[in-house]
Amino acid sequence: MSNLTDISYVKSVLSKHGFTFSKALGQNFLINPSVCPKMAELCGASDSVGVIEVGPGAGVLTNELAKVSHKVAAIELDKRLLPVLSETLSEHDNIKIINGDVMKLDLRQIIEEEFGGGEVVVCANLPYYITSPVIMRILEERLPIQSLTVMVQKEAADRICAKPGTRESGAISAAVHFYSEPEMLFKVSKGSFMPAPKVDSAVIKLHIRKQPPVDISNEKMFFKVVRAAFSQRRKTLANSLSSGLSMPKQEVTALLEKAGIRTNARAEEMTMEDFARLANAKL
Ligand code: SAM
C-alpha cells in the first residue's frame, strides 16, 4: 500500500515521473501524516456526501478523502502530476481526476456531472497564490455545496475568519461572512510540507449559509460598498468611500449619517449590519 506521507516514497514516485516542484503553482505537498486524515474526517464527506478537491498534488489528501467518501472529483492544473496520481491512487476506484484550472472550469457542470443532485463538499489544500480568488469564486457562484474545508496560510485564515467589526477584518471577511459561517479548525506548521513554505498554515471550514445574515436590497451594491470601504486601509472610511465610490466627501458624510454610522468610523469597525445599512442607504 502506498504511503503518501512517507517522504522517500513520494520523492521516488515524483522523480520516477521527472516531476520537480513549481513554486509558481503553489506546490507545497503535505507530509505530516496526521493532517489529511483529520481534514477528511472534519470536511463532512461520507458514504453519501461526495467531495471536490482542488489541487490533489501527489494525492495525499485525495487518498484520505477516497476512504471516507463515496466519490472524489479532484481538479489538478499541472499535467505532469497526472501519471503520478495514476500510480499513487491506483488502489481506489472512486476518484476522478480532472485536468484543468479551477478558476476556468465550469464547476457547476462538474458537480452536476460527477455527483448528480447528491450532496457535495469541497476539501483542499489550496495553492496559496489563488486562495482568495478560489474561495470567492466558489462562494459567489453559489455552487450547490454544503461547506468548504480548506488549508490556507495562517494569516489568510485569520483574515477570512475575522468577524466584521473587529480589528483583523477586511473585505474578504465581510464577503466570506455574507455567504458562510467560517470556523477555524486547526493550525498546521510549515514543517508539515515538502518543500516547507515560509509561513504556517491553518485549516478552516466555511459552512455555507442558506440565507445571508443581513437584509440587503442589492447584493452588488453591498459588495461595492465593502470593497470601497477597504480600498485604502490607512484612510478613514469616509475618504475610502469617497474615492472608491467616486462620490464627493460631503455626499459620503450625508450617506454615513443617513445610515447611522459615525463619520469618523474606520472600515474595520464596520459590522455586517453597518455595511448593509450603508449599502441600502446608497441605493
Ligand atoms: N493536495 C496536495 C497536498 O496537500 O499535498 C497538493 C497541494 S498544493 C498546496 C496545491 C496544488 O494545486 C498543486 O498540486 C498545484 O499543482 C495545484 N494547482 C495550482 N494551481 C491550480 C489551479 N489553478 N487549478 C487547479 N489546481 C491547481
- What is the CATH number for 278? 1.10.8.100
* Claim to verify: residue 183 and residue 243 sit in the same structural domain: no
* Claim to verify: residue 127 and residue 254 sit in the same structural domain: no
Is position 196 within any domain?
yes
Q: Residues 90-106: pLDDT tens digits? A: 999 999 999 999 999 99
Cα 163 to Cα 4, 23, 134, 227, 259: the distances in Å are 36, 32, 20, 16, 20
- Residue from 51, 78, 203 to probe ligand 1 pocket by mutation (most atoms less than 8 Å from CB): 78
Cα of 251 from ligand 1 centre, angstroms: 46
**Partner residues linked to 29 by β-bridges:** 194
- Are 236 and 195 in contact by the 8 Å Cβ rule? The answer is no
- Are 206 and 182 in contact by the 8 Å Cβ rule? The answer is yes
In this prediction, the residues of the chain whose per-residue pLDDT falls under 70 are 1
Cα 21 to Cα 27, 165, 198: the distances in Å are 6, 40, 15
Q: For residue 233, what are the domain limits?
A: 219-282
Using DSSP's 3-state secondary structure scheme, residue 261 falls into: coil
Cα of 193 from ligand 1 centre, angstroms: 13
Q: Which residues line ligand 1 (CB under 6 A)?
A: 25-30, 54-57, 60-61, 75-78, 81, 101-103, 125, 127, 130
Per the rule left: phi > 0, alpha: psi between -120 and 50, beta: everything else, 26 is: left
Q: Residues 158-202: pLDDT tens digits? A: 999 999 999 999 999 999 999 999 999 999 999 999 999 999 999
Q: What's the residue count for the chain?
A: 283
Please give the pLDDT value at position 1.
56
Name the CA radius of gyration of the chain, rounded: 21
Of the three residues 156, 184, 208, the one that is the final residue of a domain is 208
- Hey, whose CA ends up nearest to atom 10 of ligand 1? 127
Residue 98 φ then ψ, to 5°: -115, 120
Please give the pLDDT value at position 283.
79
Of the three residues 208, 230, 263, the one that is the final residue of a domain is 208
Please give the pLDDT value at position 166.
96
* Claim to verify: residue 28 and residue 165 sit in the same structural domain: yes
Of the three residues 208, 232, 248, the one that is the final residue of a domain is 208
Q: What CA dihedral angle connects 92, 98, 102 and 105, to 10 degrees?
A: -140
The structural domain count of the chain equals 2
91-95 long-range Cβ contacts below 8 angstroms, 24+ apart: 91/1, 91/2, 92/63, 92/66, 94/66, 94/69, 94/70, 95/62, 95/66, 95/71
- What is the CATH number for 81? 3.40.50.150
Cα of 86 from ligand 1 centre, angstroms: 16
